[in-house]
Amino acid sequence: MSGVTGHARALSAAAAVALMAWTGAAAGAAGAAPAAAPAVAPLKIGIIGAGHIGGTLASLWVKAGHEVLVSSRHPGQLEGLARSLGPGARAGTPREAALFGNVVLISVPYGALPQIGRDLKAELSGKIVLDTGNPYPQRDGDMAVQARRQGTGVSSAEFLPGVRLVRAFNAINSGDLASQAHRSGERIAIPLAGDDSQALEVAQRLVRDAGFEPVVVGPLARAREFDVGTAVYTRLMTAAQLRQALGLNALELQMVTLGLTISGSSSVPARTKIRCGRASESLNRCVPQAGQKRRCDTLPLSAIRQ
């Protein structure tokens, strides 16, 4: 077996093993519940920042059958929105949203993230958090300069310690979020980045339920590839166009979807090449080093059955 086709076959086998391990673990965690039940049960979503993006997503997710708690520092002002969304929605404070959600969307001016991370640390701890925020120095101050420099995946993780963070819905305008949802034909892609494979699974489901196509770009360190100012930011691409623009190939996609690049490194370069060894034993992750021979790390399958 040689070449890309051979590698793809070997990777598919490894991917299947890893997927079986993951779904098996999920079913075990769910006790006697049928294996399919967690995938279809509605989610409880707490929304911190129910403005242009948060309010639109609240509406899309309620229509998809989820329960949402939209929040404001002045919750009375959201009663009308909650009523208009129907029985699947209610209004509350950011703290109530953090407690309510098994998934929490944070969609606030980026400068508010450090305070939310401090004030709601206990409530958000261990939760899957989708972060849409984009740093703008003119709005958010010096912290936005630093966030732009190091990339939002890295900086948001610093501001929101202890959460299972996914960068999501930051690279689409709110108007397009409303008008392009569930469009006919090929759906618009939403890039995602995260270090937690289960959180990425949930984020992908919520992207689909909102009427878009998820594209997992990689770990949080790669969120910078769809930050403000990148070639793909707010460009309304299909999944195939987005993958091409980001240089994601089919092997990488399967790897990142399974969280494989995540296990070994939090700073995998965009052009990481992945090559399969014997699928039953290991996968080799080969990282080209600038001006040096490439470095290959062997990743035992046990490392990905986490």
Ligand X SMILES: NC(=O)c1ccc[n+]([C@@H]2O[C@H](COP(=O)([O-])OP(=O)(O)OC[C@H]3O[C@@H](n4cnc5c(N)ncnc54)[C@H](OP(=O)(O)O)[C@@H]3O)[C@@H](O)[C@H]2O)c1
Residue numbers of the site for ligand X (CB under 6 A)? 48-54, 72-74, 94, 107-110, 112, 115-116, 132-134, 170, 173-174
Q: CA nearest 126: which of 158, 99, 95?
A: 99
Tokens of 237: 């691409």
| C-beta closer to ligand X: residue 14 or 223 | 223
How far apart, in whole angstroms, are the C-alpha atoms of residue 212 and residue 56? 13
Q: How far is the CB of 132 from ligand X (least distance, A)?
A: 4
Do the Cβ atoms of 48 and 98 come closer than 8 Å?
A: yes
Q: Which helix (H) or strand (E) holds 135?
A: none
Q: How far is the CB of 122 from ligand X (least distance, A)?
A: 16
Q: How far is the CB of 114 from ligand X (least distance, A)?
A: 10
- What are the residues whose beta carbons fall under 8 Å from the beta carbon of 103, sequence distance 6 or more? 43, 44, 45, 46, 127, 128, 129, 130, 202, 206
| C-beta closer to ligand X: residue 51 or 277 | 51
What count of other Cβ atoms lies within 10 Å of the Cβ of residue 286? 14
| C-beta closer to ligand X: residue 24 or 161 | 161
| C-beta closer to ligand X: residue 49 or 259 | 49
| C-beta closer to ligand X: residue 38 or 137 | 137
How far apart, in whole angstroms, are the C-alpha atoms of residue 116 and residue 118? 5
Q: How far is the CB of 115 from ligand X (least distance, A)?
A: 5
Q: How far is the CB of 111 from ligand X (least distance, A)?
A: 8
What count of other Cβ atoms lies within 10 Å of the Cβ of residue 255? 29
Q: How far is the CB of 63 from ligand X (least distance, A)?
A: 18
- Length of the chain measured in residues: 306
DSSP state of 187: P
The CB-nearest residue to ligand X is 51
| C-beta closer to ligand X: residue 108 or 274 | 108
DSSP state of 268: -
